[in-house]
Amino acid sequence: MTALLPRRGFAQILALIVILAVDRVVSPQFFDLRLQDGRLFGSLIDVLNRGTPVALLSLGMVLVIATRGIDLSVGAVMAICGAIAASLADTHGLPVVLAAALGAGLVCGLWNGFLVAVLGMQPIVATLILMVAGRGIAQLITEGRIVTFSSPDLVWLGNGSVLGLPVPVVIALSMLILTGAVVRGSALGLLIEATGGNARASELAGVGTRAMIIAVYVWCGICAALAGVIAAADIMGADANNAGLWLELDAILAVVIGGTSLFGGRFSLVLAVLGALIIQTMNTGILLSGYPPEFNLLVKAVVVLAVLLLQSPKLSGFAGIATRLKRTKA
Amino acid sequence: MQNSLDPAAPLLEVRGISKSFGAVHALREVDFTLRAGEIHALLGENGAGKSTLIKVVTGVFPRDTGIVRIGGEEIAPRSAKAALAAGIATVYQEVNLLPNLSVAQNLFLDRQPMRFGIVREGEMRRRAKALLADFGLDIDVATPLGNYSVAIQHVTAIARAVDLSARVLILDEPTASLDRHEVEILFRIMRQLAKRGIGIVFVSHFLDQVYEISDRITVLRNGGLVGERETASLPRLELIRMMLGRELAGTTSPRASAGEHQAREVCASFENFGKAGYVAPFNLELRHGEVVGLAGLLGSGRTETARLVFGAERADCGQARVEGAPVRLHSPRDGVRHGFGYCPEERKTEGIVAELSVRENIVLALQAKRGLHRPLSRREQDEIARRYVKMLDIRPADPERPVGLLSGGNQQKVLLARWLATAPRLLVLDEPTRGIDVGAHAEIIRLIRELCDDGLALLVISSELDEIVTYSDRVVVLRDRAHIEELEGEAIDVGSILAAIAADSVAVALEAHT
């Protein structure tokens, strides 16, 4: 695995370096870091901090996509869980707030998993339901208003720092390590890849494919809940209309940039998070460059295309022939 | 073959074709000659270069050297479409048409009869019907192609190719998923087309069929040309020698006498086990150290029996017992838990996980059996993979290679390894030798015997009756989704199996076997 990573991640690391270099050109202070009140500040920290929600989403999304599924509802789940956290923040302690928000994310994931694994719905349709309904639910929770709070505990979650790093970054990093430990430390990783690679064959080999699928949607829901809580904590309020809006697309993009195929099978958690960082590094760079943010989307499209082409086996000589051989033999 | 054209003038001439993929020489200086009006079998083990030759000739792969002439004229197609324009059509094993479109739409795809920019559906259907009538097919052409059997899909693909004025028709394993009756239909059509002067290249693993239909045979081995012979003057043994480059080792082994069977302990038993509309209730006892063969025509309920026994399909009546104790058998997981293993016939769609490595494919069932919380460490996985790669002689001996890149025979061995790693008590093998080359074929049969000697119970399905007779201690014969007879010991031979299958129903399909 360790031997594979550098080769597999080559395109992503190269892309990140190039984008960082461009950022350095448009904004000479890009790499400057300064310590203030025990906390690091600077564009790089900003990238990590702003990239947290999508990085968290991509952690769940990459597992879902590895099973050949997709979860369009993560943005809406963020809104729901953010709304729950915000409405409870000033009356309950942080543990209760977190338990309620993450519990809601878990229920959302169970719902998606139930539709996909038990009822056999196509993932894109199944999760579209919650994508649409979820914002409605979030608005019901906030009663159509933007709910603000001042609970210092929750605010700390979005704006505090640990060992100089913003709390959201620490949370995302911990989640990456936790997910990696669970997935690669147990047999889950292999069984998820087998399920995504060939569900029928895996089932006949005795793999509980249904349980696998439910588990990844649940994990995706929990990751989205965490992202929602952090997004709410960041702005000290919950906006049911805009929290996590379109972030499901960024998460999918991050996973794809990370080299995981939408057809399921092999996945990489680290590269998916790297994908999220690539997206955020671009966003930040464009903001710093002073170009109007409208350019953001265009530049993003170009960079994504470039990363995908870099990964494409067709563009890398013999590897291209090998895959074509494989395809024709299959 | 009698036809109006000069039989000496080749229709398709391939001279000195070479093709490399990186360091691998897939084809070396291969010649191939197809005359008008002949059916020419192209044979060779997996990896001999048959597919590559076809793909080079039809322009799917660019060639490194060599020339291709059709009717004396040199061609260099850059795509399958260009090859078709030059008169070469290919029908692959997996029919490359669109199952969601109607038969008529498939036949006239890209060239629908139009008037004022609108497709004339009526006209198209009329012409489609007339075209298929030529092939002795009278079906509703407005029905989606996917609703019809593979045989009809094949005939449709052939009809389309011929209607596009193909002079050379390449059929790549056309009979692999057809039953005997459908093969007859296909062969009738092939002979009819040959009479019209079309040259047919027939690629197949079924030597019986090759002898039945072909006029000449070209054999490839390891990317090189071994030779071209008249079918009529080529003894079967000689053909196998050409394909393998060596003599085929005998595969028979002494069969235990009937008395010995009774002494063996029952491993799993099924009483009145069945599922409505799937397979009629049957009684079946599987004993340790015994191979039970399932014989019958395609669709007779062989695969259905296998799936019920393993738990891939849920029985709606009867009771399964393992070592005498009643068990629940509702899912493959149940089967795996009881120590059953199942190698399905559809290796690609139900067996291997193509993208994952040989190692991961081998440990998959064992890992699923152990559960999530007891992962096999990487070292244990490597150890298991190495052991089975060595034991079953899986090639290339690289546990990290994606299994999709292996040949069919080696994929089959990986699947066997997957189950052997779980230390099963019962293995169900559905057509373990289907679609794999002659060498691996003999090896798999040898393995079946060995496993059985180690005390495993085996339930094996095969269409090759000779094969079943070779390794079975008992043979269950099926017909029309019911078990009709059980043969044991001395009573097992091809004749008695055929007699049982043919007992009172139509025996049309069997003539070729006897």
Complete domains list, chain A, with CATH: 38-290 (1.10.3470), 296-330 (no CATH)
Question: Best residue in B309, B314, B340, B355 to probe A by mutation, most A CBs within 10 Å?
Answer: B355
B353 contacts A198? CB cut-off 8 A: yes
B251-339+424-514 has which CATH code?
3.40.50.300
Task: Give the angle B170-B213-B228 at the CA atoms, nearest 5°.
Answer: 70
Nearest residue in chain B measured CA to CA from A263:
B355
CB contact under 8 A, A205 and B418: yes
pTM given for the model:
0.74
Among the partner residues B22, B368, B375, nearest to A206 by beta-carbon distance: B368
Looking at CA atoms only, how far is residue B93 from chain A in angstroms? 11
Token pair listed for B285: 């006892």
CA distance A190 to A172: 23
CA–CA distance, B45 with A66 (Å, rounded to integer): 35
Residue A287 CA to residue A304 CA, distance in Å, equals 18
Residues in chain B within 8 Å Cβ distance of A194: 353, 356, 360, 364
pLDDT of residue A320 exceeding 60, the answer is no
Neighbours of B265 (CB within 10 A): 12
- Residue among B336, B346, B364 with most chain A CBs within 10 A, to mutate: B364
Residue B376 touches partner A, C-beta closer than 8 Å: yes
The pLDDT value recorded for residue B514 is 38
Task: Tell me the shortest Cα–Cα distance from B332 to chain A, in angstroms.
Answer: 5
Please report the pLDDT score of residue B505 as a whole number. 41
Comparing alpha-carbon positions, the chain A residue that sits nearest to B21 is A321
Mean pLDDT of chain B: 84
pLDDT band at B263 (very low <50, low <70, confident <90, very high): low
Q: Read off φ and ψ for residue A67, nearest 5 degrees.
A: -90, 10
**ipTM for the whole complex:** 0.85
Residue-wise pLDDT for B284-298, tens only, equals: 999 999 999 998 876
The one-letter amino acid code at B252 reads: T
Q: Which residue from B172, B188, B156, B159 is spatially nearest to B91, judged by alpha carbons?
A: B172
Distance CA A65, CA A71 (A): 8
Mean pLDDT of A285-309: 81
A320 interaction partners in chain B (CB closer than 8 Å)? none
Q: What CATH number labels B10-244? A: 3.40.50.300
Reported as a pLDDT band with limits 50, 70 and 90, residue A79 is very high
- Nearest by CB to A205, from B368, B374, B375: name it: B368
A163 C-beta neighbours (distance < 10 Å), count: 8
Q: How far apart are CA A17 and CA A24, in angstroms?
A: 10
Q: Indicate if the pLDDT at residue A103 is higher than 90.
A: yes
In B, residues 188-207, which contact A (CB 8 Å cutoff)? none
Instruction: Say whether A197 and B353 touch across the interface (CB within 8 A).
Output: yes
Q: Would you list which residues of chain A are within 8 Å, Cβ to Cβ, of chain B? A: 1, 185-188, 190-191, 193-194, 197-198, 200-208, 265-266, 318, 321-322, 325-326, 328-330
Q: Would the pLDDT of A129 be above 70?
A: yes
> Who has greater pLDDT, B114 or B197?
B197
Cross-chain residue pair B368–A329, CB shorter than 8 Å? no
Q: Are A226 and A56 in contact (CB under 8 A)?
A: yes
**What is the rounded (10 degree) CA torsion for A127, A129, A130, A132?**
120
CA A5 to chain centre: 20
Instruction: State the number of CA atoms in the 13 A half-sphere of A168 facing the CB.
Output: 28
More confident residue, A248 or A307: A248
Name the 3-class secondary structure at A43.
helix
CB contacts of B310 in chain A (<8 Å) are: 204
Here the tokens at position B126 are 């009329």
Task: Specify whether the backbone of B329 is left (phi greater than 0), alpha (psi in -120 to 50) or beta.
Answer: beta
A190/B364 touch (CB, cutoff 8 Å), yes or no: yes
Q: How far is B226 from chain A (nearest CA, A)?
A: 22
Alpha helical stretches, state H, A205-245? 209-235
**Are B10-244 and B251-339+424-514 in the same CATH fold?**
yes
Interchain contact, B349 vs A326, CB within 8 Å: no
Tell me the pairing of strands B482-488 and B474-479: antiparallel
**Is the pLDDT reported for residue A45 higher than 80?**
yes
What digits encode the pLDDT tens for the residues B348-389? 889 999 999 999 999 999 999 998 889 999 999 999 999 999
pLDDT in tens, B408-420: 888 989 999 999 9
pLDDT digits (tens, 9 = 90+) for B36-91: 999 999 988 766 888 889 989 988 888 889 999 988 888 888 888 888 888 998 88
Cβ-Cβ contacts under 8 Å, A260 against chain B: none
Say whether pLDDT at A2 is over 50: no
| A65: Cα separation from own chain's centroid | 12
Q: Where are the domains of chain B?
A: 10-244, 251-339+424-514, 351-423
Q: What per-residue confidence (pLDDT) applies to A298?
A: 84
Q: Which residues does residue A168 pair with via DSSP β-bridges, in sequence order? A: none
What span, in angstroms and rounded, lies between the C-alpha atoms of A102 and A82?
A: 10
Instruction: Select the more confidently predicted residue: B242 or B438.
Output: B242
Chain A residues with CB under 8 Å of B333 CB are 206, 208
CA-based nearest residue to A105, from A132, A63, A125, A75: A75
